[in-house]
Every structure is written in C-alpha cells, then in structure tokens.
Amino acid sequence: MGLQHVLLWSVPKIVILGPPASGKTTIAMWLCKHLNSNLLTMENMTTTEYSYLAKQAKSHYQKFKTVPSILLVRLIQERLKNEDCIRRGWILDGIPETREQALMIQTLGITPRHVIVLSGPDTVLIERNVGKRIDPQTGEIYHTTFDWPPEAEVQDRLMMPEGISELETAQKLLEYHRNIVRILPAYPKILKVISCDQPCVDVFYQALTYVQTNHRSNAPFTPRVLLCGPVGSGKSLQAALLAQKYGLVNVCCGKLLKGAAADKSTLGELIQPFFEKDMAVPDSIILKVLTHRLKEQDCVQRGWVLHGFPRDLDQAHLLDSLGHKPNRVFFLNVPFDSVIERLTLRRTDPVTGERYHLMYKPPPTIEIQARLLQNPKDAEDQVKLKMDLFYRSAAELEEFYAYAITINADQDPYTVFEYIESGIINPLPKKIF
C-alpha cells in the first residue's frame, strides 16, 4: 500500500500555458507520450461523449467556440475522477485561460504540481501561426516552413485550422497577454517560464526536466540571483527593480570595478592600468573585488542580485569554487535586431546630461537633437562585438547553470520583471542546494 501511495503521489499533474503558436499543444502531447499520462484539452474533453456534462460542453463549444468557465471546470473535475487520470496523472493543455478559471479550479482542490508557461515574441508567434497545419487523423501539428512532414499522404490530408490569420492571431495574443499576468500569481511556487523561441526539442527537454523534479519545502531563503544576458538585454533595469522591491543588494560587476579603481586602494591601483588601456581586468582581480563585496554583511543578510559576471564558463567555475553559488539564475534573451535598436539609437545631451533615445524618447526640440552625442560604446560595431562575445559562451553557461530560467526579454520590462519574480518565488529542486 505504501508503494502504491508513493506512485500515486508522483503521477504527473501538469498545466501548460502559452500564447497562440507557442507550441504548447505539441509540448503537451510529447510530455503525455513520454510520461504515459492523459492529455486534457478543451477539444478532447468536449468531443468525447462520456457524460451529460461533456454533451452540454460540446453543444456550447460547437456554437460559440468556447465553454462557460463553470461548465469547463466541472468537466475537468469529472474527468480527473476517472481511473486513468488517478493512476497515470494528467496534463492540462491551455487551461486555465483566465484568472477566474484558475481560482475555480483551485477551489475544487485541483492542484497541479508543475505549471509551465511558454513565452515568445509576438512577431515570431504570428509568423508561426499563419503557417500552421493540422493532421485530422492524428491531431499532430505541422508548419509550412519549419516542420513539413516528409510523407506525401500526410501532406495531402493536412488542413489549415480556423482563426489563424495575422489579424485574428494578433487579437488572440492581446487577449492572452491580458489574462496571463492575472493567472501567474495563482501558481507562485510551482511555475517555470520557458522561451518557445528556440527549437521545439529544446523546449521539450527543459519542460521534461522541470516536471521530473520535486519541489523543495517552502521555507524562506536568502535570494542570490544571477542575471545573464547580452549587452542591452535589460539586466541593469531588472536588477534595480529586484533590489528595490525585495531589498536585495544590487551588485553590478562593472560598477564595482570602477568604484574600486576610484578609491585608490591597493586593488584599485591594480585595476586602474587596465581601465586606462581599455583592457579586460583579469579574472583573479575581479574575483577579489567581487568576493569582498559578496561577503559583506548586507549581502549575507539580505541577499544579492549579480550581473556583469560571470561572462564565461571559467568565471562561473571560479565563482562557484569560492562558495558564491546563485540559487536563482535567469538568462534574458533578446534578438540581435532588438539590441541594436535599443543601444545604437541612444544619445546624451552634453549640455544637460539628459539621456534620450531616438525612437522611444526623442529630444523635444531640433536644437537639442543637433547637439546630441552617441557614446562610442553604443556604436553598432561595438555592440555586435559584445553580443558575439556573450553568445560564444552562452551555451556553456546555460549548461553549467542547469536549472536556469530562460526569459524572453524582448517585451515590456515590467512583464519581464513579473516572469523573474515568479521564478524567484518558485522553489528549486533539492539537488541544487
């Protein structure tokens, strides 16, 4: 009986959410096959006539392409009482769609163990959706550009789903964004955000790794947060927001080194020549400055958010060996074109010191615009060089920090912050510690 109880406790109870064309149905189907579990979708619950509730839901869905929340939640409750769901668990695809549904599901005692939220740029999602095709026999989803089936017989029977035009997709995305920010707080301790703007297999393995972990206890912990990402990905802003809201110490490696160089200490005298010659400061010196800061009482007591270091695998190993292990790691992903747009259009007014952006915050007058200057570091060739250096080491860093959370940072900074927050609240697997 004890073994049976353990087996039932460990069965999958998973919710997968994401915007249109994020691939959530594909990931849900793959997880279902891999875990030998039950896939629950709006379609298969309303088209399988195994109960009066299902017939009601089917009738409503056929007329309005939606099901009233209270009917949908009762249908889920009834389905989860079936023997197959009790023994093999379940994966809910795209449900809940609203905060109302999330709260109704919780009220009935239906509690997922893992919630996965797929995230990606709207432009990518619209392109994906327009090319989507479905196999009516198997339910498998294909794409005219990215995933066309090799078999001619499969190609011939593929159908274009309804409601996937560019305008319809954009409207659905708008509605999704409005809803998801209100759903996320319902799952603060069991949530993982995964970027869907990467190969589907990579998304699947990140999802699989996550759903096969057991959560830690909810005991309080001191956050030690590491933000990784290319230049222009918003690390400084996110670190400032985290420091402001949670009282963490904002540790920017670049500012630390500048501060050390300015205070004329022994370490500062070592750093100054590298600054004057515009050369990289050696890792051994950086780590001395960084270790000194992270050992100070405020960092130990309140926790810290670090950015600007480590930049490669060797630095990550060194940081780890000195006992400064982050317990939350986030990779902020931003497309190359977006970084170029963010940085190369920045300007400074040499008279007032005011900062502008030619697209997002243009100068108010032609006179001011005429005197604006660009920081040499924001020149396109310099930005490209820094991005290239980051991405050379990014894959190794992601492998080193195996439980890092990848976030699409090419969106409103406060939306990015909400995803980071959910990742900080969400407990990590025991083996991390």
Residue 390's pLDDT is 87
Evaluate if residue 283 carries a pLDDT over 90. Answer: no
Residues 165, 287 within the same domain: no
Beta-carbon contacts of residue 186 (< 8 Å; ≥ 6 apart)? 96, 99, 102, 103, 106
Residues 142, 72 within the same domain: yes
Residues 299, 418 within the same domain: yes
Are 387 and 332 in contact by the 8 Å Cβ rule? The answer is: no
Share of the chain above pLDDT 90, in %: 27
CA-to-CA distance for 433 and 428, rounded, in angstroms?
9
Are 18 and 94 in contact by the 8 Å Cβ rule? The answer is: yes
Residue 124's pLDDT is 87
CA-to-CA distance for 328 and 425, rounded, in angstroms?
10
Boundaries of domain holding 421: 224-432
Residues 248, 124 within the same domain: no
Quick: pLDDT tens for 225-278: 999 999 989 998 899 888 888 888 999 998 888 888 888 777 778 888 888 887
Q: For the domain that residue 191 is a member of, what is the CATH number?
A: 3.40.50.300
216 found inside a domain: no
Evaluate if residue 140 carries a pLDDT over 80. Answer: yes
Residue 428's pLDDT is 56
> Which of the listed residues 151, 175, 210 is the one where a domain comes to its end?
210
Residues 56, 102 within the same domain: yes
CA-to-CA distance for 56 and 111, rounded, in angstroms?
25
Residues 153, 256 within the same domain: no
Quick: pLDDT tens for 179-211: 998 898 888 778 899 999 888 889 999 999 888
For the chain, the domain total comes to: 2
Are 275 and 256 in contact by the 8 Å Cβ rule? The answer is: no
Residues 272, 200 within the same domain: no
> Which of the listed residues 183, 210, 237 is the one where a domain comes to its end?
210
What pTM, to 2 d.p., does this model score? 0.49
Residues 175, 296 within the same domain: no
How far, rounded to the nearest angstrom, does the alpha carbon of residue 250 sit from its chain's CA centroid?
21
Three-state DSSP state, 300: helix
Token duo for residue 253? 């490696």
2 found inside a domain: no
Quick: pLDDT tens for 64-87: 767 788 888 888 888 888 888 888
Share of the chain above pLDDT 70, in %: 93
Q: Which residues of 154-179 are buried (b: 16+ CB within 10 A; e: fewer)?
A: beeebeeeeebeeeebeebbeebeeb
